[in-house]
């Protein structure tokens, strides 16, 4: 009986020893304090400021539209492959892009809670202050809405590995790749038109490196065995955050190319090319007063020169006022010929057939 107990204990010790693990390969540091999450892409903070006030934008959600579950070869998991709260990443990025100079994000994800709280304040004030109760200020209205979501998640789009062993000792490596795809749309509240849209893909890479070895000694009566491995899985939230940040950056760049807004640096570059103020004053002081008045008249904010003919470079709208939020009059196609009636800074008042409207100068080419 005692021999049986000793045999069982010996087998248990051997089993535990065989399941023991070693320290992971490479340097592993344990973070004992929470870390504040910053932006992952430097371009988010380095975006040039807009040529105007921040744009009010509403975000109602950024949903997972893939329906994908976590990949497992042994179990059926109910956990989703991507986060269900991606709108938090989008709101944070929209607020911080360009040092918080681009967008003013208004609360719409928790709109029900916001309206309930305002209603409670209103009723409480009416109870204690009567009809003369102070009214709450109106909510900030958004000029545009950000729509979209996580539209695709593909697993094991690329798999592979390699290994080599000599006399029973060798190393091997394996890797797999997943892809997450997001989409962002900028929608005008006034017209419902989709102003611009971007789609971003991000790879998620997982790797596994290992070392195995087995040798026998003393006429195969003794053996030596080693098995060490380390696996790295890129966190899905990191990939999603970087995709959202890249999407916001590309949304701003694409909107600037389409003439929805302008960078503030464009104004600065025009001023650098101009003559210094001191040189301009010196040159003008040497001219008669009549000529000075003529120069001042021609260099005003709006020039009343004779009409010119221009060609439209790309698809563009002419609008009622000098603001991209103003009503659209007509959509012009590339190659359309327009008549330039007036010029005001970066904008021109043009006429196409019987319709007149404002358009950005960079969207047209004036004929010589």
Show Cβ contacts of residue 242 under 8 Å, excluding neighbours closer than 6 positions.
40, 41, 202
CA atoms within 13 A on the CB side of 206: 14
pLDDT 10s digits, 312-356: 877 788 888 887 667 888 888 877 888 988 888 888 898 888 888
Q: Which residues pair with 358 in a beta bridge?
A: 319, 349
**Average pLDDT of every residue of the chain:** 77
Which domains does the chain show, CATH number per domain?
37-161+168-257 (3.40.50.10610), 301-368 (2.30.30.40)
- The answer to whether 152 and 202 are in contact (CB under 8 A) is no
pLDDT 10s digits, 111-153: 999 999 999 999 998 888 888 888 888 888 999 999 999 998 8
More confident residue, 307 or 292: 307
Q: How far apart are CA 215 and CA 352, in angstroms?
A: 86
pTM of the model as a whole:
0.60
């Amino acid at each position: 009986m005692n021999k049986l107990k000793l045999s069982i204990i010996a087998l248990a010790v051997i089993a535990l020893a065989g399941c023991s693990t070693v320290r992971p390969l490479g340097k592993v540091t344990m973070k004992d304090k929470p870390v504040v999450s910053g932006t992952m892409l430097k371009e988010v903070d380095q975006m040039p400021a807009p040529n105007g006030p921040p744009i009010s934008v509403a975000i109602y959600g950024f949903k997972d539209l893939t329906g994908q579950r976590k990949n497992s070869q042994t179990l059926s998991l109910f956990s989703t492959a991507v986060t269900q709260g991606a709108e938090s990443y989008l709101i944070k990025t929209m607020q911080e892009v360009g040092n918080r100079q681009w967008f003013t994000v208004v609360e719409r994800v928790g709109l029900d809670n916001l309206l309930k709280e305002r209603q409670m304040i209103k009723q409480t004030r009416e109870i204690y202050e009567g009809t003369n109760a102070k009214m709450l200020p109106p909510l900030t209205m958004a000029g545009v809405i950000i729509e979209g979501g996580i539209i695709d998640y593909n697993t094991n789009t690329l798999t592979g590995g390699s290994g080599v062993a000599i006399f029973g000792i060798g190393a091997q490596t394996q890797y797999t790749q997943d892809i997450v795809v997001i989409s962002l749309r900028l929608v005008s509240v006034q017209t419902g038109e989709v102003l611009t849209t971007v789609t971003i893909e991000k790879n998620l890479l997982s790797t596994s490196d290992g070392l195995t070895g087995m040798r026998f000694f003393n006429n195969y009566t003794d053996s030596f065995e080693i098995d060490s491995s380390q696996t790295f899985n890129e966190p899905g939230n990191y990939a999603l955050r970087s995709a959202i940040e890249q999407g916001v950056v590309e949304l701003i760049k694409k909107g600037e190319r389409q003439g929805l807004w302008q960078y503030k640096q464009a104004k600065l570059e025009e001023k650098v090319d101009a003559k210094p103020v001191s040189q301009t004053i010196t040159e003008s002081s040497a001219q008669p007063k009549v000529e000075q008045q003529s120069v001042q008249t021609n260099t005003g904010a709006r020039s009343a020169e004779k009409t010119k003919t221009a060609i439209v470079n790309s698809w563009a709208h002419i609008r009622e006022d000098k603001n991209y939020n103003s009503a659209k009059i007509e959509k012009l196609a590339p190659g359309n010929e327009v008549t330039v009636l007036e010029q005001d800074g970066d904008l021109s008042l043009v006429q196409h057939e019987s319709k007149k409207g404002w358009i950005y100068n960079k969207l047209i080419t004036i004929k010589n």
